[in-house]
Amino acid sequence: MASAKQISSDSEHIRHSFAHILAAAVKSRYPKAELGIGPVIENGFYYDFALPAEALAKAGKFITEEDLPKIEAEMRTIVKQNLPFKKELWPVAKAATYYKKEKQPYKLELIRDLVKSQTNSKLTKVGVVYTGDVFLDLCRGGHVKNTSELPLDAFKLTHVAGAYWRGDEKNPMLTRVYGAAFQTGKNLEQYLWQQEEAKKRDHRILGERLKLFTFAEEVGPGLPLWLPAGTIIREEIEKRAKEVERQWGYERVSTPHIARDILYKMSGHIPYYSESMYPPMKLDDGTYYLKAMNCPHTHMVYKAYPHSWRELPIRYAEYGTVYRYERSGTLAGLLRVRGFTQNDAHIYCSKEQAEEEFLNVMRLHEFWYKEVFGIQDFYMRLSLPDRQAGLPAKDKKKYAGVPKEWKEAVEIVRSAMKKSGLPYQEVEGEAAFYGPKVDFQIRSVIGREETASTNQLDFFAASRFNLVYKDKDGKEKPVYVIHRAPLGSHERFVAFLIEQYAGAFPFWLAPVQIQILPLSVKFSEYAERVRAKLLSHNKNMRVKVDDAQETLSKRIREGETMKIPYLVIVGEKEMVDDTVSVRERGKGDIGAMKLEQFEEHIKNL
């Protein structure tokens, strides 16, 4: 059996090879096409192209979605020629001369930049890869040996988009062609199904259809307005979170939305994080900022009075709203916003308690994902500083602290992760400026991966804020701080749940749990009695009566469109028999039953 690493490598080689075949096919159809880059991406590949102005003016248009089947057919023709991939190392001058002759300005720019990037040694050669005798590309390699190895039933060109050259909006806009590629046709079919399903589950579309949230130009981009139905979802999650955290030993605090600049200088957010903060507000008593993080405020709660070793660990939880400046072009529904409310908490503990506390945080995540929301596909990412020894001390613009502190913190977090038994991986260069962090990555049923929460072990805050406690001997010692937020922000997590459940929320989260549909107005009184009886047993149940002057079939369709868990129909027979006819979401008509039976049916949902 092949290892996961081997499978990953094989997939990358297949995708990289298809990127070259795509470029060859485009050059065949558009001989004057200028080539950008064609990297491997998750699930596939892309390649960027341009036409010189005169050729584009003559053609009238370049590659569109309608052209993809023709390009794909050309790719299949090339693959069937059983062409070998062959890499050579060319002198820089030879490569530059070749691409100048071929009128490929973007490749020339890449060669120049490769030469410039060699600060310690002079670049003398660059890699080029032949695809038989039909195509040559500037490339460092990583392909199959021959096009005969490429699975023709496992690739597909998916869409076209615009992309600035090298991601810089000051550069020309190129045409980017995307493709999907896998090792088997079955994998491709699964991926394409997921993509189609993703369109149906798009949280922005469902959010509008189910009337959960909206945005207003007058309020500003990235600042969601929660509608009544969406607010119910937020509040139900928050209500359960508060109860769970109380059981797990947390105390609740509340902090303001703004603070003086001195607080963020103490925390290190100025200068380490200032680019993501909103501009300062200059008032008569000083300069203030909207808070981008809850932690500095919570640290001041901890400092409000002295603490001894007997009190530790102290766990302060808060649903805190924060504001971060995101460029307008990066905003995406609820997934990336400028204002959001976090399921935040900060744990103040001794160094000896840090590992056990971090382990408990991971166990809390597991509880939420598996037991509450039924999310089985998740893993942790341990983000570390760069590999170079002593970098945290050397790169003061990126990291705070000294190497010894970093090493101890990493050992604590890594040990806790191993003991948790949960899957994890380690990545370098992504640590927070004040310590290693653990991101929980969750995947939805359609394969979309999101960062649900970020958790950090912070050894830096104690010195910044003088966060101390008195040990058994009466000596002051610094605390370790754990930043944790199992559910991340309401905005991102609700967006994930909308797509995970396709808008069909579990009973406890559904904005309307039961909708009663009287056959006509004359049965409205009985419908209200049914509603009152349900509420008498559970006053928090969300039950509505829909006696609109519409046909029953239309009201049923509307109830199903709104994904209401139960539609209860009452008419003459139900009123006489003191029963209700029940339609359950996803099952349809489950028959008539006494109201007591129905209450028993939903009691444990």
Catalytic residue status for 346: yes
% of the chain at pLDDT higher than 70: 94
Does 247 lie in the same domain as 98?
Answer: no
pLDDT band at 388 (very low <50, low <70, confident <90, very high): very low
Does 571 lie in the same domain as 476?
Answer: no
pLDDT band at 434 (very low <50, low <70, confident <90, very high): low
DSSP 8-state class, residue 84: B
Both structure tokens of 161: 């988009």
User: How far is 420 from 360, CA to CA, in rounded Å?
Assistant: 9
Q: Which of 501, 531, 552 is the last residue of a domain?
A: 501
- Mean pLDDT score of the chain: 90
User: How far is 590 from 94, CA to CA, in rounded Å?
Assistant: 76
The per-residue pLDDT for 394 is: 46
CB under 8 Å to 420, separation ≥6 — which residues? 359, 362, 363, 366
The per-residue pLDDT for 316 is: 98
pLDDT band at 119 (very low <50, low <70, confident <90, very high): low
**Is 22 in a helix, a strand, or coil?**
helix
Considering the entire predicted model, what is its pTM?
0.79
pLDDT tens digit string along 150-164? 999 999 999 999 999
Alpha helices (runs of H) in 248-377, residue ranges in sequence order: 261-267, 269-272, 295-302, 351-366
Both structure tokens of 184: 């088997």
Does 472 lie in the same domain as 494?
Answer: yes
User: How far is 21 from 156, CA to CA, in rounded Å?
Assistant: 12
Does 591 lie in the same domain as 571?
Answer: yes
- C-beta atoms surrounding 347 within 10 Å: 27
pLDDT tens digit string along 226-283? 999 999 999 999 999 999 999 999 999 999 999 999 999 998 888 878 889 999 999 9
Contact call for residues 182 and 52 (beta carbons, < 8 A): no
Q: What is the CATH number of the domain that holds 350?
A: 3.30.930.10
% of the chain at pLDDT higher than 90: 75
**Annotation-wise, does 203 bind a ligand?**
no
Catalytic residue status for 376: no
Catalytic residue status for 515: no
The per-residue pLDDT for 427 is: 80
Nearest of 357, 348, 355, 356 to residue 312 by alpha carbon? 348
- The mean per-residue pLDDT over the stretch 317-340 comes to 92
Does 434 lie in the same domain as 409?
Answer: yes
> In the predicted model, is pLDDT for residue 386 greater than 80?
no
- The mean per-residue pLDDT over the stretch 396-400 comes to 49
Spot the catalytic one: 324, 338, 531, 583. 324
Structural domain contains residue 143: yes
Q: Beta partners for 441?
A: 379, 451
The count of domains in the chain is: 3
Contact call for residues 51 and 34 (beta carbons, < 8 A): yes
pLDDT band at 448 (very low <50, low <70, confident <90, very high): confident
> In the predicted model, is pLDDT for residue 468 greater than 90?
yes
Structural domain contains residue 337: yes
Catalytic residue status for 324: yes
Catalytic residue status for 200: no
H or E segment and range at residue 301: helix 295-302
Nearest of 500, 508, 512, 493 to residue 558 by alpha carbon? 512
pLDDT band at 169 (very low <50, low <70, confident <90, very high): confident
Q: Which of 470, 501, 532 is the last residue of a domain?
A: 501
> In the predicted model, is pLDDT for residue 8 greater than 60?
no
> In the predicted model, is pLDDT for residue 98 greater than 50?
yes
Catalytic residue status for 295: yes
Structural domain contains residue 81: yes
The per-residue pLDDT for 9 is: 67
CA torsion sign for 589, 590, 594, 598 is negative
Least confident of 156-160, 310-314, 429-433, 581-585: 429-433
Both structure tokens of 86: 């062959």
> In the predicted model, is pLDDT for residue 396 greater than 60?
no
Q: What is the CATH number of the domain that holds 591?
A: 3.40.50.800
Both structure tokens of 404: 């010894």
Does 518 lie in the same domain as 485?
Answer: no
Structural domain contains residue 289: no
- The mean per-residue pLDDT over the stretch 126-131 comes to 95
**Is 241 in a helix, a strand, or coil?**
helix
- The mean per-residue pLDDT over the stretch 434-438 comes to 74
- C-beta atoms surrounding 597 within 10 Å: 13
pLDDT band at 342 (very low <50, low <70, confident <90, very high): very high
The per-residue pLDDT for 1 is: 35
Contact call for residues 334 and 203 (beta carbons, < 8 A): yes
pLDDT band at 3 (very low <50, low <70, confident <90, very high): very low
Contact call for residues 290 and 323 (beta carbons, < 8 A): yes
User: How far is 566 from 601, CA to CA, in rounded Å?
Assistant: 11
User: How far is 129 from 106, CA to CA, in rounded Å?
Assistant: 17
Spot the catalytic one: 346, 414, 492, 531. 346
Spot the catalytic one: 48, 137, 344, 439. 344
Least confident of 395-409, 476-490, 522-536: 395-409
Spot the catalytic one: 13, 295, 456, 500. 295
Structural domain contains residue 167: yes
What type of residue sits at position 206? L
Question: Between β-strands 251-252 and 468-470, what pairing exists: parallel, antiparallel or unpaired?
Answer: unpaired
Does 482 lie in the same domain as 351?
Answer: yes
Written as one string, the DSSP assignment of 496-557 is HHHHHHTT---TTT-SS-EEEEESSGGGHHHHHHHHHHHHHH-TT--EEE---SS-HHHHHH
> In the predicted model, is pLDDT for residue 403 greater than 70?
no
User: Burial of 267 by CB count in 10 Å (0-12 exposed, 13-18 middle, 19+ buried)?
Assistant: buried
Both structure tokens of 367: 């509880």
List strand residue ranges (DSSP E) for 92-218, in order: 125-131, 135-138, 155-164, 173-181, 213-214
Kindly report the backbone phi and psi dihedral angles of residue 76, in degrees, each rounded to the nearest multiple of 5, phi listed first.
-65, -40
Q: Which of 476, 501, 526 is the last residue of a domain?
A: 501
Does 569 lie in the same domain as 468?
Answer: no
Does 530 lie in the same domain as 488?
Answer: no
Q: What share of the chain is helix, strand, coil (3-state, %, to 5)?
A: 40, 25, 30
- The mean per-residue pLDDT over the stretch 107-135 comes to 86
- Cis status of the peptide bond prior to 518, with omega within 30 of 0: no
Catalytic residue status for 143: no
**Is 326 in a helix, a strand, or coil?**
coil
The per-residue pLDDT for 430 is: 57
Scan for tokens 């058994």, then name that residue: 472
Kindly report the backbone phi and psi dihedral angles of residue 306, in degrees, each rounded to the nearest multiple of 5, phi listed first.
-70, 155
Both structure tokens of 144: 């199959």
Does 492 lie in the same domain as 520?
Answer: no
Spot the catalytic one: 483, 490, 492, 542. 483
* CA 467 remoteness from chain centre: 33
Side-chain-side CA neighbours of residue 476 (13 Å): 6
Q: Which domain holds residue 535?
A: 514-602
Does 175 lie in the same domain as 221?
Answer: no
CB under 8 Å to 451, separation ≥6 — which residues? 439, 440, 441, 488, 492
Does 451 lie in the same domain as 320?
Answer: yes
> In the predicted model, is pLDDT for residue 397 greater than 60?
no
The per-residue pLDDT for 435 is: 65
Spot the catalytic one: 16, 261, 342, 531. 342
**Annotation-wise, does 346 bind a ligand?**
yes
pLDDT band at 406 (very low <50, low <70, confident <90, very high): confident
